[in-house]
């Protein structure tokens, strides 16, 4: 019997439940990946992200060849067409079953439910698995039986219900019976989607596994402190690979245990905090599944949709270009434009400046990040933006607004990060680097807003919501 494995954001052969189960229950296996430029554009996927995925696909193809599994490419422009296009390919290749790992945003869920229903009616078996999360969405409940909307109690429940079985890894499958089907040539796709930033990001399962191991062994214990300082190379930078599924969160957690006396939720504070970041990713997947409105351009806190956002297009464009006159904000934007990645502390500072100081709709920022980030992930990106904009899941009983100048002083005291990304300020004295008194002298920009006054306006605007 021949079956198909449909790869999505799980571009690996190790610890891949859909691939392992497909191989275990089939004599012959083919692999399928769907190229969908129109859908990628609709989802605002960054060019550098797509390129990374295509290059990762090339690496995956080589690993699949060792297993006698040909990788086929299906081009389908819209999710609405995928069911019929995929069925046609399966019939052509005489596949009796389809295996894949679940995705959780609303469009993907609708697509997959349609496929499950239609394929069942047509006699094609469909088998799905959870690989992005340890606890499938819907399995963690509050004492009242509801879904979690706050991270800390979610995390506690996550550990309470964790079993050793859930952390069991799937080995690379044994080679299958060779088929008479030739795999696709990916060279043209690699060329079509390549970008100038590709050289900054390596691909390949083993390479990324080595990267994680090196991080945990050399930097993991200092992570809780170093992660906040953008001039320090203290982050693992594995988010693009978790997003594309080149590595699994489960494998990452088990590696963390190895460097932390076989512990996850206690022990070394640096590694424990790194584990917590992986759990944040899972939390936001539960949110996007349990509260689908957040992947439909709607705020988690519905009343915040009444906020009177500014429509200042000049402010928005200057923010996008890294020309706000606020050095730490501009540095963060420029890092993203020039590398495809932005330091996590900067993501909060930059997002809060847009949504609070400029009072521009957080959805504009969410979209811009997706268009530029190599690790752009709808669940985490939406969660981060709504947290920053005070429209999402947030346990804080107060209105949160960061002052970019004080954040800059605290986390980039000597201005190393600022000077790296804003060369105009290379000669600016350290005591002025966070907010130059004469920016034009350095061919830099005057601040587009007064931080103190804009802070007050933001507090007033959100305060009006509470009155409503």
- Tell me the catalytic residues: 277, 280, 309, 344, 362, 385
H-run or E-run covering 5: strand 2-7
182/57 Cα distance (integer angstroms): 16
DSSP three-state, residue 351:
helix
**Spatial contact of 28 and 1, defined as CB atoms under 8 Å apart:** yes
Name residue, tokens 């790869």: 7
What gap in Å lies between CA 100 and CA 196, rounded to an integer? 32
Strands 71-75 and 125-129: unpaired
How many angstroms separate the CA atoms of 231 and 211, rounded? 19
Separation of alpha carbons 266 and 444, rounded Å: 46
> What CA–CA distances, in Å, run from 86 to 50, 61, 107, 124, 304?
21, 19, 17, 11, 41
Let me know the angle formed at the C-alpha of 153 by 235 and 216, rounded to the nearest 5 degrees: 20
The whole-angstrom separation of Cα 426 and Cα 418 is 9
Q: What is the DSSP letter of 199?
A: G
- CA pair distance 92, 85, nearest whole angstrom: 11
Specify the DSSP element, H or E, that contains 429: none
Structure tokens at 172: 């690379």
398: CB partners within 8 A, 6+ apart? none
Residue 394 near residue 387 (C-beta atoms within 8 A): yes
Distance between CA atoms of residues 404 and 153, nearest Å: 30
Phi first, then psi: give them for residue 228, nearest 5 degrees: -90, -10
- 218: which 2 tokens? 């050399």
Decide if 161 contacts 136 (C-beta within 8 A).
no
């Amino acid at each position: 019997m021949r079956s198909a494995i449909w790869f999505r954001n799980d571009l690996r052969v190790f610890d891949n439940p859909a691939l392992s189960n497909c191989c275990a229950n089939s004599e012959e296996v083919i692999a399928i990946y769907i190229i969908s430029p129109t859908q990628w554009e609709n989802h605002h996927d960054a060019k550098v992200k797509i390129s990374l995925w295509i290059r990762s696909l090339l690496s995956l193809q080589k690993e699949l060849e060792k297993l006698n599994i040909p990788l086929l490419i299906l081009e389908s422009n819209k999710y609405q067409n995928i069911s019929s296009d995929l069925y046609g390919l399966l019939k052509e290749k005489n596949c009796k079953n389809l295996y894949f790992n679940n995705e959780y945003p609303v469009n993907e869920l609708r697509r997959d439910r349609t496929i499950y229903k239609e394929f069942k009616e047509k006699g094609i078996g469909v088998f799905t698995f959870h690989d992005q999360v340890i606890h499938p969405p819907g399995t963690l409940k509050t004492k009242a039986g509801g879904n979690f909307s706050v991270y800390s109690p979610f995390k506690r429940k996550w550990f309470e219900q964790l079993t050793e079985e859930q952390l069991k890894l799937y080995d690379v499958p044994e080679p299958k019976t060779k088929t008479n089907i030739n795999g696709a040539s990916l060279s043209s796709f690699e060329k079509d989607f390549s970008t100038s930033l590709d050289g900054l990001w390596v691909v390949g399962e083993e390479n990324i596994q080595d990267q994680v191991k090196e991080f945990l062994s050399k930097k993991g214990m200092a992570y809780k402190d170093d992660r906040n300082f953008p001039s320090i190379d203290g982050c693992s930078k594995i988010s693009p690979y978790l997003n594309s599924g080149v590595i699994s969160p489960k494998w990452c957690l088990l590696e963390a245990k190895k460097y932390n006396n076989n512990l996850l939720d206690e022990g070394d504070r640096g590694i424990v905090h790194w584990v917590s970041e992986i759990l944040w990713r899972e939390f936001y997947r539960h949110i996007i599944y349990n509260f689908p409105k957040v992947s439909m351009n709607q705020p988690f806190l519905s009343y915040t949709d009444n906020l009177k956002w500014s429509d200042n297009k000049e402010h928005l464009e200057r923010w996008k270009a890294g020309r706000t006159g606020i050095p730490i904000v501009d540095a963060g934007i420029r890092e993203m434009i020039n590398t495809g990645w932005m330091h996590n502390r900067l993501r909060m500072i930059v997002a809060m400046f847009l949504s609070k100081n400029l009072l521009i709709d957080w959805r504009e920022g969410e979209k811009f990040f997706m268009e530029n980030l190599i690790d752009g992930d709808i669940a985490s990106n939406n969660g981060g933006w709504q947290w920053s904009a005070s429209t999402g899941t947030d346990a804080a009983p107060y209105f949160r607004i960061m002052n970019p100048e004080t954040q800059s002083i605290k986390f980039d005291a000597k201005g190393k990060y600022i000077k790296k990304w804003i060369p105009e300020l290379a000669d600016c004295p350290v005591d002025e680097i966070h907010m130059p008194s004469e920016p034009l002298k350095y061919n830099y920009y005057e601040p587009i807003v007064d931080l103190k006054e804009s802070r007050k306006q933001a507090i007033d605007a959100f305060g009006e919501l509470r009155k409503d």
